Amino acid sequence: MRHQPVLKNEVLKYLAPSAGEKFIDCTFGFGGHSFEILKKIKPNGQLLGIEADEKEIAISKKDGLDKNLTLVQGNFSELGKIARENNFSPVSGILFDLGFSSWQIEASGRGFSFQKDEPLDMRLDTRGEMTAERIINSWPKEKLALIFKEYGEERRAHRIADRIYRFRKTNRIRTTGQLVEIIRRAVPFSGQRKKIHFATKVFQALRIAVNDELDNLARALPQALELSERKGRLAIISFHSLEDRLVKNFFREESKKNNLKILTKKPVRPSREEATGNPRSRSAKMRAAVKI
């Protein structure tokens, strides 16, 4: 299985892979970016792919793996440990694509989409104990409101959290369909007719909380810098403002310390053609830097 990688040409431009180099793809997915990089680094280059979702790894292995590729299940928050275990450093470039694959949204059955009625799971790595159902049914109302506001930037966070709290007193919330209906009742009719679906921000917040996405990224970025050789390149594709802000601030601070040079003064966005052909790419922002 292959999927269309976001900002493919831009990733190749800023990572600039060439024959014989070593690269790490911290979010392998189905290898859309990795296979493009592998074309450039062969015949002797090597790529380490890290993927949290064991089902995506199983599908990729079924399709057959490139001999220049090492694919492991893990979380990029342990990037340094994974690289050491695979004797994979220093490296010429490291990529993070923080988006979710179409397969995860449409076919994983884990409740990533508010357009389907599925179990409230939202785990990338199903070995983890935390699920969206557990958060929705057990976290205090105030904590729910906090993550909806901070992770989802949802301005009706308290109102939605209160609805959830009242509903779960008598009924356990088990499915995405139940949650969407609860959110709908908390949002005025005018808010339900906007371009962005009224459940989008709550679902985003839950997914971030379940998978500890922001903390994992914050832990991974310094490790990526450490693993990079001199003139090693970093490219990070984010899909919402919290991720992008974290990356921007990390680059800025390390630039002040003369540890890296920022290559993208402003985040790189998809072209109009790409955004039209792949609507899920529209919110993508890529920042790149090189180690000094």
pLDDT digits (tens, 9 = 90+) for 274-283: 988 888 788 8
Could you tell me which of 40, 36, 44, 143 has the C-alpha nearest to residue 97? 36
Residue 138 predicted with pLDDT over 70? yes
Q: Chain-wide mean pLDDT for the chain?
A: 93
* pLDDT the model gives residue 63: 72
Give the long-range contacts of residues 118-121, CB within 8 A, separation 24 or more: 118/175, 118/176, 118/177, 119/174, 119/175, 119/176, 120/173, 120/174, 120/175, 120/176, 120/179, 120/206
Q: Cα separation of 220 and 24, whole Å? A: 12
* Beta sheet of 22-25, edge-to-edge order: 69-73, 46-51, 22-25, 91-97, 228-238, 285-291, 260-262
Average pLDDT on 262-281 reads 91
Residue 3 predicted with pLDDT over 90? no
Average pLDDT on 113-129 reads 92
Q: Give the tokens for residue 173.
A: 């919330």
Average pLDDT on 53-76 reads 88
Residue 68 predicted with pLDDT over 80? yes
Residue 103 predicted with pLDDT over 70? no
Query: Which domains, from first to last, does the chain contain?
Result: 8-103+213-291 (3.40.50.150), 131-211 (1.10.150.170)
* pLDDT the model gives residue 191: 64
Residue 65 predicted with pLDDT over 90? no
Average pLDDT on 252-272 reads 97
> Residue 121: which pLDDT band, with cuts at 50, 70 and 90?
very high
DSSP conformation class of 101? P
Which pTM value belongs to this model?
A: 0.91
> Residue 105: which pLDDT band, with cuts at 50, 70 and 90?
confident
Residue 10 predicted with pLDDT over 60? yes
Residue 144 predicted with pLDDT over 70? yes
Q: Cα separation of 210 and 82, whole Å? A: 22
